């Protein structure tokens, strides 16, 4: 294994927060996307200042978003958070990978500035707040040629552009993943999320909005309901029945997640996650859910690591079928077995999937698992997501203390 070194120029996540995740139309439904993000931005800045022990200068706000009203949501959220008008903002759309892409962009920016000696401003260390936000409840209706549509095309004419549910079912068929395995994986996600919530494992992450202090999707009764739910889509070719159901698919949700990124040279004694390597790679748009496989393998190759060297994995669980197809190919699942390092507190199948935020939620979860839970310095974690249109994004982090 190649020995990794976090130098003074490295970008380090020193704080990580999120809202509770709420199903579309429920507890967070009256809040616009910038209203979801603004309180989390404030909380993350406050955590960062406590960690460093001094005020910070916010150099930028970078947020992922898929379906919002536009108008540069990151800038709107920065102003809504009460930040100085000099704080800019940039909004990124990589669909379900948007929040993770925003964090990657922020770390690259911090590292680039640091190599030029811009570690800090006269009034404090420079910091970028990055993550994602999505309000599926308030997403505007979109119209093209006078016809409303639910989402934009992920590919141009002449390329496959399947809906995500049927694409997950096709991937399950191609991978030999049956309904029983999908339901069992969904049940695992709910059990782990419920156990994590019971033990207070989400408490340090969540910024309460609308008096919502806990994710509203994990539910014990789903365990009994899973076998009874009807398939959502016609069967894939060669199968007698469909396998993707409402129970083994994520819930469309509202939520926001943000991390604070600084140069390693100014973090002082604050523990955190240093970005070691990242990759965004395209794949066959007909099977978009498989994208994380190449991205995860690429970050390990860049870092000189094996998957056995990684302490924690967080994958955006859009569908049990898609997640298992990825994990099987990575050697992190097979048959009834799922590697215990994967989504120890459950994932999007239980918590919900606020599209543009979910990749950032994965990094918040890594921060809790590795930093708050005292993993030793030098431990590694990977966050990854599949992207509509056929892509995968992954980021490899190392614990610093």
Residue ranges per domain, the chain?
11-140+249-400
Res 54: pLDDT = 93
**Nearby residues of 164 by Cβ (< 8 Å), 6 or more positions away:** 288, 289, 318, 319, 388
The C-alpha atoms of residue 262 and residue 269 are separated, in whole angstroms, by 12
CA 322, 328, 329, 330 torsion-angle sign: positive
Q: Is residue 86 within 8 Å of 99, Cβ to Cβ?
A: no
* CB environment 263-278: b (16+ within 10 A), e (fewer): bbbbbeebbbbbbbbb
Query: Residue 257: exposed, middle, or buried by beta-carbon count in 10 A (0-12, 13-18, 19+)?
Result: buried
Residue 265 DSSP SS3: helix
- Residue linked to tokens 């294994």: 1
Tens of pLDDT along the chain (401 residues) come to 455 678 888 999 999 999 999 999 999 999 999 999 999 999 999 999 999 999 999 999 999 999 999 999 999 999 999 999 999 999 999 999 999 999 999 999 999 887 776 666 667 889 999 999 999 999 998 888 888 888 889 999 999 999 999 999 999 999 999 999 999 999 999 999 999 999 999 999 999 999 999 999 998 898 899 999 999 988 766 666 899 999 999 999 999 999 999 999 999 999 999 999 999 999 999 999 999 999 999 999 999 999 999 999 999 999 999 999 999 999 999 999 999 999 999 999 999 999 999 999 999 999 999 999 999 999 999 999 999 999 999 999 999 99
Q: What does 59-90 look like in DSSP terms, one character per residue?
A: EEEEEE-SSS--S-HHHHHHHHTT--TT---E
Phi/psi at 94 (nearest 5 deg)?
A: -120, 35
CA distances 394 to 51, 147, 203, 355, 380, Å, are 26, 36, 26, 16, 13
Tell me, what's the pLDDT at 120? 64
The whole-angstrom separation of Cα 357 and Cα 102 is: 10
CATH code, residues 11-140+249-400: 3.40.47.10
Beta-sheet strands, E only, within 187-304:
206-207, 253-263, 272-282
Q: What is the pLDDT of residue 353?
A: 98
- 134 burial class (0-12, 13-18, 19+ CB within 10 angstroms)? buried
Phi, psi of 135, rounded to the nearest 5 degrees? -115, 90
Residues belonging to the active site: 96, 353
User: What pLDDT sits at residue 1?
Assistant: 46
Packed helices 355-366 and 98-115: angle between N→C axes, nearest 10 degrees? 60
Beta bridge partners of 89: none
Range 204-218 burial, b when 16+ CB lie within 10 A, else e: ebbbebbebeebbbb
């Amino acid at each position: 294994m190649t020995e990794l070194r976090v130098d003074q120029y490295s970008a380090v996540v020193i704080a990580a927060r999120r809202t509770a995740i709420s199903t579309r139309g429920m507890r967070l439904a009256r809040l616009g996307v910038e209203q979801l993000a603004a309180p989390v931005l404030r909380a993350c800045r406050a955590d960062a200042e406590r960690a460093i022990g001094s005020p910070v200068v916010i150099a930028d706000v970078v947020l992922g978003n898929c379906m919002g009203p536009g108008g540069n949501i990151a800038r709107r959220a920065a102003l809504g958070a009460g930040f100085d008008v000099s704080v800019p903002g940039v909004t990124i759309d990589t669909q379900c990978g948007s929040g993770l892409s925003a964090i990657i962009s922020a770390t690259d920016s911090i590292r680039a500035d640091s190599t030029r000696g811009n570690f800090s401003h006269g009034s404090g260390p420079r910091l970028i707040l990055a993550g994602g936000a999505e309000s599926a409840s308030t997403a505007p209706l979109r119209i093209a040629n006078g016809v409303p549509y639910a989402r934009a095309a992920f590919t141009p004419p002449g390329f496959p552009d399947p809906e995500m549910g049927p694409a997950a079912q096709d991937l399950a068929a191609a991978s030999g993943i049956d309904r029983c395995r999908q339901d069992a994986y969904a049940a695992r996600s709910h059990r782990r999320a419920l156990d994590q919530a019971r033990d207070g494992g989400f408490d340090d992450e969540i910024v309460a909005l609308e008096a919502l202090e806990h994710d509203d999707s994990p539910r014990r009764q789903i365990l009994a309901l899973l076998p009874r739910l009807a398939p959502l889509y016609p069967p894939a070719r060669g199968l007698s029945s469909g396998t993707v159901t409402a129970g083994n698919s994520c819930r469309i949700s509202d939520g926001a997640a943000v991390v604070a990124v600084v140069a390693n040279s100014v973090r002082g004694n604050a523990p955190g996650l240093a970005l070691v390597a990242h990759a965004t790679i395209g794949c066959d748009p007909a099977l978009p859910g498989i994208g994380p496989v190449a991205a995860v393998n690429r970050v390990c190759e860049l870092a000189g690591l094996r998957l056995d060297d990684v302490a924690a994995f967080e994958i955006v669980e859009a569908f049990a079928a898609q997640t298992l197809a990825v994990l099987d190919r990575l050697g992190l699942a097979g048959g009834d077995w799922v590697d215990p390092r994967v989504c120890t507190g459950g994932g999007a199948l239980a918590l919900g999937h606020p599209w543009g935020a979910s990749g950032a939620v994965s990094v918040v979860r890594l921060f809790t698992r590795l930093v708050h839970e005292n993993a030793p310095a030098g431990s590694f974690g990977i966050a990854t997501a599949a992207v509509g249109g056929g892509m995968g994004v992954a980021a490899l982090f190392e614990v610093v203390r």
